[in-house]
Amino acid sequence: MARTPLLPDRRRPLVFAHRGYSSQAPENTMAAFRKARETGSPGIELDIHVTADGKLVVVHDDTFIRTAPPDNNGGGKKPEELSYNEIKHIDVGSFFGPRWSAERPPLLEEVLEELCPAMYVDIELKSRKTKDDSLPLLLAEKLKTLGEKISRAVTVSSFNPFCLKSFKRFWNGIRETGSSAGLADIPTAIIWCADTEVPWLLRHGSGRFISGCDYLKPIHKQVRPLSMFRFSLENRPVVSWTVDDCRLAEKCIQSGCEGIITNRPGDMVPLWK
């Protein structure tokens, strides 16, 4: 089966700063993304939810409770239950330190407009739905509006194979229209680990068969010789997460991984220099 190549024009190994340079600045903020760029990181990884008014906001958790003060966390509501006008006032920086108190959740388009195409971006879809999910279509439509800026500069991933499959269908549909025929295809990846929050059927990568994805994102603990051999036969590259030790990064790459996701991109400079 033909696969969409994984960022073929980018130097190997691929290095994605996890939620930006999240060990040096508050995760999933413009400060963290800019910090990654300042250190020379070639790529970033981020997470998106859809707001109540249909905006794509960059945030990891299902609520803002962990990353915002108790009196300014959206009342503990999900991003999907809040408008972006409400979300843009939430302080998601001071949990990391008082100097970051001005940081607010950015919109996806703000990040892509500033960083692409110089950097590549892995967009993780945060959704638990198996149907009637607006997130995949909204993302496809947003990426269409950005056109050449994101062409060959983004990938899309998720723990949710249904969400990922829907995105691929919508994106292919957009590309087949006359006005969008020149848009590049976007590689997609299924993410997995053995965590109990992940449905047991999806804890070892079987979501790839549902999603029809192009590459794979296992936790580094599940990067094993036998599975890597199997994935190579399927023509699916591997990017492992979250790798914060240089020796572990080298081990993953030697095992066949084409890239890593790390909280410490500054420590990984030797990998791409």
Active centre residues (catalytic): 18, 60
3-state SS track over the chain: CCCCCCCCCCCCCEEEEECCCCCCCCCCCHHHHHHHHHCCCCEEEEEEEECCCCCEEECCCCCCCCCCCCCCCHHHCCHHHCCHHHHCCCCCCCCCCHHHCCCCCCEHHHHHHHHCCCCEEEEEECCCCCCCCCHHHHHHHHHHHHHHHCCCCEEEEECCHHHHHHHHHHHHHHHCCHHHCCCCCCCEEEEECCCCCCCHHHCCCCHHHHHCCCEEEEEHHHCCHHHHHHHHHCCCCEEEECCCCHHHHHHHHHCCCCEEEECCHHHHHHHHC
| Token couple for 255 | 């095992």
Q: How far is CA 41 from the centre of its chain?
A: 15
CB 164 within 8 Å of CB 213: yes
Q: DSSP state, 179?
A: G
Secondary structure (3-state) at 118: coil
